Amino acid sequence: MDLKYHRFLHIPERLWGLVDIAYNLWWSWHPEAKMLFKQLNRQAWDESIHNPVKMLRELPAETFDAALRNAKYLHHYDIVMARFKRMKSSRIGWFREHYPKLANYPIAYFSAEYGLQHSLPFYAGGLGFLAGDHVKECSDLGIPLVAVGFMYSDGYLHQHIRPEGWQDNIVEKLERDLAPISRVLNQDNSPIIIKIPFIDPTIYVTVWKVDVGTIPLYLLDTDIEINDQSVREISSRLYTGDKELRLRQEIVLGIGGTQLLNALGIKYSAMHLNEGHPAFAPLERIRERVEEGVNFNDASEIVRKTTIFTTHTPVPAGHDLFPFEMMDKYFHNYYNALGLDRGNLLQLGFHPLDPDAGFNMTAFAIRMSGYHNGVSKRHGEVAREMWQSLWHDIDIDKVPIDYITNGAHLPTWLNPKMEYLINTYLGPSCPHWMWEHDDPALWELIDEIPDEDLWRTHYLLKVKLINRIREHKRRKWMTDYADPMNVVAGGALLDPSALTIGFARRFSTYKRADLIFTDIERLKKIINNRWRPVQFIFAGKAHPNDDEGKRILQKVYNYAHAPEFGGRVAFIEDYGEQIAQYLVHGVDVWMNNPLPPLEASGTSGMKAGFNGIPHLSILDGWWPEAFNNRNGWAFGGEEVEGDRTIQDSNDLYEIIENKVVPLYYSSSREGIPLKWVKMMKECIKTVAPFFSARRMVKEYATRYYAPTLESVINEMKEDGVTTEVCNYGP
């Protein structure tokens, strides 16, 4: 018997498949699998906060015995299990069909964060969800990926807002035993422990695993007894403000992660670095070759040809910079192991325009990789400008940084009710629409959906969102005697019939969450219109060390308090995956107004777009590629000298007053705003196929993964190596 069932002996063997599914996040993007848990006990499901492992552990045996007697449940169970097994053993998929010779050559994907599902708090924001969606999509497409990341044990950083609007952070430890992760074991069932080579002082790492469909995600954890206390804390939390701790984290991720893949016998052929944090991974790959006798230059040539680096932000604070002395402290033995002296290695992290600044992880990642890309067309331009100096004497348009625009995982972010509706009208002529959802032609059928049906579904989701918010606040009011102001600020007075604009993301300064509050009198008129009211829902966390972000949050929160807005500005605490789902399904408009050109892509607007929620956004990130005048609104495309707050906020007010409000409250038939629904349809048609993770991952696969793997295979042929077995590890 597999060890993992030992903890679930209260579940009859006939239902052990539930345990298998609980440990594979595949369930989270398959509503029929989610139903298996929900149907066991709806309340327990909610109380577990949608963590099936916790729920299965805690439910009494009687619940499962009752399920055994329920023929309907068993029938549903058998269908889901059959699908699950088919997925697990799948030897088909888009990648295999198109690149049958390459499907056995794994690609190692490294990221410091993964946003996958609520029960795994290994993310801070957009970068994490991008990585999570990438991995899910690789599973759907049959791409042979192996992912590496961190097990952050202090993962939940809950946001609590004080009455005066200041953000406090409450750490909730992840209970490893109740999370859907399992320990990676040696053959004798002892936990695997890896030593990070040549790094002083020594760091040991243990490893957990979560299955994401067919893709294994390995999670590094330094919290083991053999380590010193300070080492144990390396993997406690994501993105600390402590530079040295951060360097240690990046050593663990890059070097430890690469060692881990070796220890598991995973013979990957290419590496994909999601942002600069894991950039020591290719260095470790080089060191291994140097150890085999290859010289540094030849080794780095081989590694570079098979390394892909995706940069994700033009914001300076997003690029780690480590003082050289700090590098020395950890790497002094490593320099020798590479056959380099100190200067040669540190030079790889110079920024040519500021070589004394320190070791720049992005510059390093670019030098270590053969393929580099930004994450939208606009960001490609910005990144070429930012990093032009790495290539001397080269024209800016020749700088070899390309772009692949981000996408979001449609099955994760499309609401099941919306999916059901779409299926009713697309299904008959395109039974496999979900499978081919990056084909724009099939989305033309969206026009077949009767306006009233689309509107009704949307309205239902909006009511669901607002009910959820109000119910939460009601409970706080009842059980915690919450301050009435806090109850109002949290959304107790929200009204489903009012035009609802959503803004939810991290409260980084450049995102300008407070832009709409630039002219309070004007905003009051918009919000408090007796016949055409507008309400705003805000959510998001500021980084724990970002006082400026916290001040912006406080400002927004205080407006949510203010009687002058009549409860029509709400701030929802503790933004995370779950609240994000409610919001991108249920608001009427998704708003985004970062300071251009600092938004590399943005993905939350895509998630909203899948659900027919038009985007009201400044022309930055992905929006210039998507906006067509019929699927939302745009402003701020031009360059502005100096402070652009006034101009941008004026544009925003003007659009809301003259375009959004009139369209939403336009003459309607039986309460259905037909012109609005037309825009909703246009929005789904233009966003779903092009801004899905499917389109994105196919681009990575065809433009980067496949050529890389092909060159590896060709070289192996030249060397007389003919067979390679795909090994995903345990």
Nearest residue (CB) to ligand PLP, 37 versus 129: 129
CB of 117 to ligand PLP, least distance (A): 11
- Contact call for residues 600 and 312 (beta carbons, < 8 A): yes
Q: How far is CA 211 from CA 217, 577, 696, in A?
A: 6, 18, 21
Q: Which residue has the tokens 């060159």?
A: 711
Provide the token pair at 212.
């994401």
Binding to ligand PLP by residue 156, rule CB under 6 A? no
At what angle are helices 296-305 and 280-291 packed, to 10 degrees? 130
CB of 108 to ligand PLP, least distance (A): 24
Q: Point out which span in 195-203, 561-569, 573-581, 701-709 binds ligand PLP (CB under 6 A).
A: 573-581
Binding to ligand PLP by residue 126, rule CB under 6 A? yes
CB of 409 to ligand PLP, least distance (A): 10
Q: How far is CA 127 from CA 130, 344, 406, 577, in A?
A: 5, 31, 10, 13
CB of 602 to ligand PLP, least distance (A): 4
CB of 604 to ligand PLP, least distance (A): 3
| Number of helical H runs and strand E runs in the chain | 32, 20
Nearest residue (CB) to ligand PLP, 107 versus 591: 591
Nearest residue (CB) to ligand PLP, 56 versus 161: 161
* CB neighbours of residue 167 within 10 Å: 23
Site for ligand PLP in 505-544 (CB under 6 A): 505
Q: Point out which span in 124-132, 318-326, 485-493, 715-723 binds ligand PLP (CB under 6 A).
A: 124-132
CB of 147 to ligand PLP, least distance (A): 18
Q: Point out which span in 24-32, 420-428, 525-533, 604-612 binds ligand PLP (CB under 6 A).
A: 604-612
CB of 170 to ligand PLP, least distance (A): 18
- In the list 222, 310, 604, 686, the residue contacting ligand PLP (rule: CB under 6 A) is 604
Question: Which residues are 692's β-sheet partners?
Answer: 408
Binding to ligand PLP by residue 310, rule CB under 6 A? no
Query: How would DSSP label each residue in 57-108?
Result: HHS-HHHHHHHHT-HHHHHHHHHHHHHHHHHHT---SHHHHH-TTTTTS-EE
Half-sphere exposure for 286 (CA within 13 Å, toward CB):
29
Nearest residue (CB) to ligand PLP, 574 versus 710: 574
* CB neighbours of residue 64 within 10 Å: 18
CB of 318 to ligand PLP, least distance (A): 13
The type of residue at 632 is G
Nearest residue (CB) to ligand PLP, 133 versus 223: 133
Q: Point out which span in 146-154, 192-200, 561-569, 572-580 binds ligand PLP (CB under 6 A).
A: 572-580
Cα separation, 391 vs 93, whole angstroms: 39
Binding to ligand PLP by residue 502, rule CB under 6 A? no
Cα separation, 112 vs 380, whole angstroms: 22
Nearest residue (CB) to ligand PLP, 124 versus 570: 124
Nearest residue (CB) to ligand PLP, 27 versus 622: 622
Site for ligand PLP in 352-391 (CB under 6 A): none
The type of residue at 216 is P
Binding to ligand PLP by residue 586, rule CB under 6 A? no
Provide the token pair at 722.
């003919």
CA 30 to chain centre: 18
Closest CA to 340 of 308, 299, 396: 299
Question: Rounded to the nearest 5 degrees, what angle is found at the Cα of 347, between the Cα atoms of 345 and 351?
Answer: 140
How many residues bind ligand PLP (CB under 6 A)? The answer is: 12
Nearest residue (CB) to ligand PLP, 509 versus 603: 603
Binding to ligand PLP by residue 580, rule CB under 6 A? yes
The type of residue at 610 is F
SS3 for 499? strand
In the DSSP assignment, the letter for residue 702 is I
Binding to ligand PLP by residue 602, rule CB under 6 A? yes
Nearest residue (CB) to ligand PLP, 126 versus 216: 126
CB of 153 to ligand PLP, least distance (A): 20
Direct distance between the N- and C-terminal alpha carbons of the chain, in angstroms, rounded to an integer: 16
Cα separation, 173 vs 151, whole angstroms: 11
Nearest residue (CB) to ligand PLP, 217 versus 303: 217
Nearest residue (CB) to ligand PLP, 203 versus 693: 693
Question: Which residues are 402's β-sheet partners?
Answer: 373
**Count of all residues that appear for the chain in the document:** 730
Binding to ligand PLP by residue 125, rule CB under 6 A? yes
Query: How would DSSP label each residue in 438-477?
Result: T-HHHHGGGGGS-HHHHHHHHHHHHHHHHHHHHHHHHHHH
SS3 for 139? helix
Nearest residue (CB) to ligand PLP, 153 versus 603: 603
What b/e string do you get for 616-635 counting C-beta neighbours within 10 Å, with b at 16 or more? bbbbbbbbbbbbeeebbbbb
Site for ligand PLP in 46-65 (CB under 6 A): none
Q: Based on the number of CB atoms within 10 Å of its own CB, is 263 exposed (0-12), middle (13-18) or buried (19 or more)?
A: middle
- In the list 206, 274, 603, 631, the residue contacting ligand PLP (rule: CB under 6 A) is 603
SS3 for 267? coil
Q: Point out which span in 29-37, 208-216, 596-604, 637-645 binds ligand PLP (CB under 6 A).
A: 596-604
CB of 128 to ligand PLP, least distance (A): 8
CB of 264 to ligand PLP, least distance (A): 30
Binding to ligand PLP by residue 598, rule CB under 6 A? no
- In the list 129, 156, 335, 433, the residue contacting ligand PLP (rule: CB under 6 A) is 129
CB of 537 to ligand PLP, least distance (A): 14
Provide the token pair at 15.
């239902």
Nearest residue (CB) to ligand PLP, 222 versus 593: 593
Cα separation, 233 vs 405, whole angstroms: 35
Q: Are strands 215-221 and 204-212 parallel, antiparallel or unpaired?
A: antiparallel
SS3 for 314? coil
Provide the token pair at 310.
């995706």
CB of 580 to ligand PLP, least distance (A): 4
Cα separation, 501 vs 497, whole angstroms: 12
- In the list 211, 250, 546, 577, the residue contacting ligand PLP (rule: CB under 6 A) is 577
CB of 83 to ligand PLP, least distance (A): 26
CB of 45 to ligand PLP, least distance (A): 21
Nearest residue (CB) to ligand PLP, 144 versus 407: 407
CB of 686 to ligand PLP, least distance (A): 17
Question: Rounded to the nearest 5 degrees, what angle is found at the Cα of 132, between the Cα atoms of 276 and 209?
Answer: 95
Nearest residue (CB) to ligand PLP, 438 versus 577: 577
Provide the token pair at 646.
């006034």
Q: Point out which span in 122-130, 233-241, 299-307, 429-437 binds ligand PLP (CB under 6 A).
A: 122-130
Q: Point out which span in 8-16, 125-133, 235-243, 328-336 binds ligand PLP (CB under 6 A).
A: 125-133
Nearest residue (CB) to ligand PLP, 232 versus 607: 607
Per 3-state DSSP, the chain is made up of helix, strand and coil in percentages (nearest 5) of 50, 15, 35
- The residues of the shown chain that bind ligand PLP, judged by CB under 6 A, are 125-126, 129, 505, 576-577, 580, 602-605, 607
